[in-house]
Structure 1
Amino acid sequence: MRRLSPAEIFARDLDWSLLRVFLALAEARSITGAADRLGLKQPAVSQALKRLEDRAGHRLIDRAPGAFQLTPQGQALLPEAEAVRAAILRASLAMEEAAGEVAGEVSLALASHVVSPLLDQALQRFHADFPKATLSIDILSSREAVARVANQQASLAICLLTDPPARLETRVFYREFFGLFCGPPHPLFGRDVGLSDLAGHAAVSFLTDRLGDALAAVADLRQRAGLSGPVGQATHLEEVRRMILAGIGIGPLPLHVAAEDVAQGRLWRLPPHDDPPAIDVHLVLNPGQRPNRAETALRTILQALLDASPPEARVYGPGA
């Protein structure tokens, strides 16, 4: 009988549940967090990690008070464990789809300020046509959303783009315009002021509001207004809006998103009122990814809606 190699022995003896615990630890970065995700007790998680390390013959995670990080061996195992998880999910979906059903999960990576009737229409149609399929939506920075699609960890992304990513397929989903706003506690709220009156006031903004980043046009607007700071930054639109409403500073928001707050007197639009910066929001797909039937269905719906909607109908803000 041929002697098995160490790799073959590892494959024979490896229990998928141990890899599942390892993935939860890598994502939660703590024993407590992994136990909560898995519905296990903390000692059970620690024991599973030890069994995996014993079978792998390597320490996979360095744990110390205030520190939790993957070892080089753990970092090497992580993408392989993710690939195993993806293969198991695909196997389950393949059996469901063999029965003729469109099932499976569609994972959407969205930038936080994606507000589009077209997306809402696509999701409504998708659920009506394929009720057994499930949706998972993560709100991420645009950079993280693109990375998720590139690494085949998300079915698609709708986000901002700094540069067209290599190997990915992109299409303008809609165009939005940004303006500057302040909240009721701010001294400029309700006042008819000029652009020069904004100089020296503190700003709040998005983390990508930097020259050369996805919201470079907004960064340029902030500089033209002479705003200082920013004194507060966030990835999510709701948190930027929260800081504006609290009067912490003047901040940028998409005009169509802020319109209801302005109408209700919760936000005040500040200059400039002419030629606001335009930002394109993109649909990002990975042509190298093998989509399940549910992912294919949603992609088809989105592409059909985009084909039926001319670019000028997907402009939210001035000139819409």
Structure 2
Amino acid sequence: MNPPNSRSDALVNKWEGRRFLNDRLDWNLLRTYLVIGQEGSISRAAARLHITQSAVSQALRRLEEQLECALILRRGPRFDLTAAGEEVLRIATDIYGDVSRISAAVEQRSDAVAGKVRLLTISRVQSALYDEFLADFHEAHPRVELEIEVLRSADIISSLLQKTATAGLGLCRIPQPKLEQRQLLRQRYAFYCGRRHRLFGRTDVALEDMQGDSFVSFVSDQLGGNLSPLAMFRDQQGFTGRIVASSSNFEEIHRLVCAGFGIGCLPEHLVQRDIEQGLLWRLPPAEGIVDVDLLLLWNREQRLTVAESVFLESFQHRLATLDGGTA
């Protein structure tokens, strides 16, 4: 009888273990872990999956046992992903994308996806990713009718809570318990004035020079509103100028600032061409005022049609490709 070869036995056992893992790994555990990683919270993952926190924790423990490694480092109510956890999350994201593509391919061939998607959005959403997603979605599902309505962020949130729309693109400063959210892009707001304003073209302007000037303001630019950080900044800096005009529509705010009504706070990426054409002038502070996230929002408790589900799943998958970046 040949003496046992411990190194060979170890290699065989390792290969057998990998084959077992490949054949038996439960996708549902990976899906739960993917949601945990996306939400950054056991409780939020449970709410999104409509299961208990205990069930989420058990699924995480079972996955760690199958993989024979820790995926998260628990720090009280918070946690961080381990190096292995980061890699497993990336792989789970890729797998979810592949599953979504299989579903989309089958639906496209059968041409079974039809119906209406009602999307609510704030004015002037400028995103190449969003535009490309709409083009690709229409090409894949030509029988889905898209109805888009422009509203204030507050009205979008109200409509979604009342389940009268599929999804929304808007601002949501205070997270709503019933609404899911994913970042579409991050907008940095800064101060600008028009050609007729006394500060236009000046390179020696300081914040103190602006304190008494009038302002053109978004309706939500008030304490408690979705753009309340802008109002807080003015208050903290001792600005005493009054608001001479306001609107919920970007185009109207832009028009009034260009017309010289007063200083306005606008998203940088939307006015770059106006700066180049000499219609607007950038004012201090040089680093801007605040970053505000534009979000994809939807009600997790709403029963969706097939068309609405495919739209939301496709949109989420496209946003997942950003990997935390902006569009």
Bin for the TM-score computed over the shorter chain? 0.5 to 0.7
Match of 1:226 in 2: 239
Query: Relative to structure 2, which stretch is displaced further, 138-147 or 279-288?
Result: 279-288
- Contact 1:198–1:226 (Cα < 8 Å) also in 2: yes
Q: Distance in 2 between matches of 1:202 and 1:102?
A: 52
Deviations 1:125-177 (A, max 9, x none): 11111122221111111111011111121110111113211222122222110
Matched residue type, 2:226: A
Query: Root-mean-square deviation (CA), in Å?
Result: 1.9
| SS of alignment partner, residue 314 of structure 1 | coil
Match of 1:45 in 2: none
Match of 2:279 in 1: 266
Matches within 5 A, 1:127-146: 127-146=138-157
Q: Distance in 1 between matches of 2:121 and 2:240?
A: 29
Q: Distance in 2 between matches of 1:190 and 1:100?
A: 57
User: After TM superposition, which residue ranges in structure 1, 4 or more long, deviate above 4 angstroms?
Assistant: none
- Contact 1:217–1:278 (Cα < 8 Å) also in 2: no
Cα distance, 1:136–1:227 mapped onto 2, change above 3 Å: farther
Q: Distance in 1 between matches of 2:188 and 2:238?
A: 16
Q: Deviation at 1:220?
A: 2.3
How many residues are matched? 217
Matched residue type, 2:139: A
Cα distance, 1:138–1:150 mapped onto 2, change above 3 Å: same
- Contact 1:181–1:270 (Cα < 8 Å) also in 2: yes
Match of 1:240 in 2: 253
Matched residue type, 1:292: T
Deviations 1:270-320 (A, max 9, x none): 111125311122211112222222222221221111111121x217xxxxx
Correspondence for 2:290 among 267, 277, 281 = 277
Do residues 307 (structure 1) and 284 (structure 2) align? Answer: no
- Contact 1:126–1:297 (Cα < 8 Å) also in 2: no
Matches within 5 A, 1:124-273: 124-192=135-203, 193-223=205-235, 224=237, 226=239, 228-273=241-286
Matched residue type, 1:160: L
Which structure 2 segments of 5+ residues have no match? 1-109
Match of 1:14 in 2: none
- Contact 2:195–2:279 (Cα < 8 Å) also in 1: yes
Deviations 1:196-246 (A, max 9, x none): 111211100100001232111111233326251211000011110011011
Matched residue type, 1:260: R
Q: Distance in 2 between matches of 1:216 and 1:283?
A: 20
Matched residue type, 1:204: V
Matched residue type, 1:164: P
Query: Relative to structure 2, which stretch is displaced further, 152-161 or 269-278?
Result: 269-278
Indicate the structure (1 or 2) with the bigger Cα radius of gyration. 2
- TM value normalised by structure 2: 0.63
Q: Distance in 1 between matches of 2:124 and 2:225?
A: 16
Q: Distance in 1 between matches of 2:321 and 2:132?
A: 13
